[in-house]
Structure 1
């Protein structure tokens, strides 16, 4: 591979390499909700995503939280995910599940 090809490959994305699976991180309780970050790997970056739940057993409610933000570092993505999920809980509370 030539030098220019190497540089070009750094800045181009190959959709066949994108992984759409989400690997969950440690859950965090917040105002009666449970936030479980699950960054989605996409082309060498991570998409902000999580599961927000409330309740148990028959009363369990779940919301899949996916945003357009892409972050290079998985750990940074988890931090951003938790921050954005908390803002969403603060703004929408129980209407999040409607």
Structure 2
């Protein structure tokens, strides 16, 4: 079980095999936040994941999220990550950084 979390964290934080790097998805602006889809390969599919960012007077704030949904294509996972990011922003707003 520990190796699962280590593998997950390595993939989510951009570590691992640099020969397999894929270009990052474009950020989407939404209500003063930026949503950066960050799906990663998992068991032949792509895991829903992303980063919500917001500029503040104290610097860049960042919230990373991962959801259970997987998708057959990276494009589908990126699109769904934007939908989930918007939902998180609508439900929690700035509280996601606290």
Bucket of the pairwise TM-score, normalised by the shorter protein: 0.7 to 0.9
In 2, Cα distance between the equivalents of 1:45 and 1:94?
Answer: 31
Q: Which structure has the larger Rg over C-alpha atoms? A: 1
Could you tell me the TM-score, scaled by structure 2's length? Answer: 0.74
Choose the corresponding residue for 1:21, options 11, 17, 20.
11
> Superposition pairs for residues 74-93 of structure 1, below 5 Å?
74-93=74-93
What's the secondary structure of 1:55's corresponding residue? Answer: strand
Q: Which residue of 1 aligns with 2:43?
A: 43
Residue correspondences, number: 82
* Aligned residues: CA RMSD: 2.2
The structure in which a higher percent of residues are strand is 2
Unaligned regions of 5+ residues in structure 2, if any?
Answer: 13-21
Q: Which residue of 2 aligns with 1:65?
A: 65
Unaligned regions of 5+ residues in structure 1, if any?
Answer: 1-14
Could you tell me the TM-score, scaled by structure 1's length? Answer: 0.74
What's the secondary structure of 2:25's corresponding residue? Answer: coil
Query: How far did residue 58 of structure 1 move?
Result: 3.4
